[in-house]
Chains A and B, each alone.
Chain A
């Protein structure tokens, strides 16, 4: 199972490649965070039930924060 050996793992995780992958991930999460934010604001302004929208927004923000931290740790 070479996929799980430390060497194989190390070769897959070049800092620059990892940073690029995380940039793409942040972009995707960013898009969905913006959408969730718009949805939450719209529902709040209209006075409708926005619990699910806000929870979705919080989840997106948490994932975005995790991805951003991971991106900064790459040092690139």
Chain B
């Protein structure tokens, strides 16, 4: 009887949880994997071609063989070499400094702003959200000229003035941070905070001890997005960076070849590969923190 009940189809026609989790078979599976393969190839093809070209000998730069041929590591050495006036190593350090400071400040301000926007009820809450969204829509190129004049007049465009790159980067990272975290905080169960308050926590303690640890996946995800946006920023950095503060994006664009007017494509590709690696390491490092459903079932016992 038990076996009959177990095998009988449900009366309401819906799939049970076990049936739902069973892998699909046949044509549907084929289509699913074909689609996934296409997306993966589409996403990884440029990166693959960058690695292949970066590993190729300079004499075979425009070789279109789809796999690595004439493999050499000279391009990676050339990328780090300072013989031709390239300072890629210093630029990597600069990018890390700019990215870390931008992310830290944007997160620090963004967490409080997002929490207030998600949790507090005040008139014009969505107006503020719209204002932040409007700020993120503002074209960066429109800021280049006025900021250049401003930074030039306060002598920020020479020497080790990282703030000339960090402050504009924060202005772009902050709307992203606030908007992403607002959506994340809004989805968190209110009952957790209420329970903490009933147990004697002040609003600040409830935020610090209960909500912030539970929001860790959202915080990490947002921090990674902010860091990537700062790491990849080129437009403002190309105008405001001095020779000592230029980030990798600008350093790669300024790579000079062995001959005048010769673009060192293979060295650029090798440098591009090196630049992408920290991002991959960071995502892999924080992968365990980026998990969804941490709060699932935390309210109902």
Contact = CB atoms under 8 A, between A and B. Distances in A.
From B125, B128, B134, B138, residue with most partner A Cβ within 10 Å = B134
Contacts of B137: 28
A13 interface: no
A24 interface: yes
Nearest to A32: B134
Nearest to B123: A23
Contacts of B190: none
Q: B interface, how many residues as a size bin? A: 10 to 19
Interface string A25-43: 1111111100100000000
B113 interface: no
Contact of B127 (A27, A32, A35): A27
Interface in A21-64: 23-32, 35
A28 B138 contact: no
Interface string A1-31: 0000000000000000000100111111111
B138 A26 contact: no
Contacts of B293: none
B129 A24 contact: yes
B138 A27 contact: no
A31 B134 contact: yes
Interface in B258-295: none
A25 B126 CA distance: 9
Contacts of B128: 27
Contacts of B124: 23
Contacts of A27: 126-134
Interface in B119-178: 124-135, 137-138
24 contacts: A23-B126, A23-B127, A23-B130, A24-B129, A27-B126, A27-B127, A27-B129, A27-B130, A27-B131, A27-B132, A28-B131, A28-B137, A29-B130, A30-B127, A30-B130, A30-B131, A30-B134, A31-B130, A31-B131, A31-B134, A31-B135, A31-B138, A32-B134, A35-B138
Interface of B: 124-135, 137-138
Given A26-B127, A30-B130, 20 more contacts: A20-B126, A23-B127, A24-B126, A24-B129, A24-B130, A24-B133, A27-B126, A27-B127, A27-B129, A27-B131, A27-B133, A27-B134, A28-B130, A28-B131, A28-B137, A30-B127, A30-B134, A31-B130, A31-B135, A35-B138
6 shortest interchain CB distances as A-B pairs:
A27-B130, A31-B134, A23-B126, A24-B130, A28-B134, A27-B131
Interface of A: 20, 23-32, 35
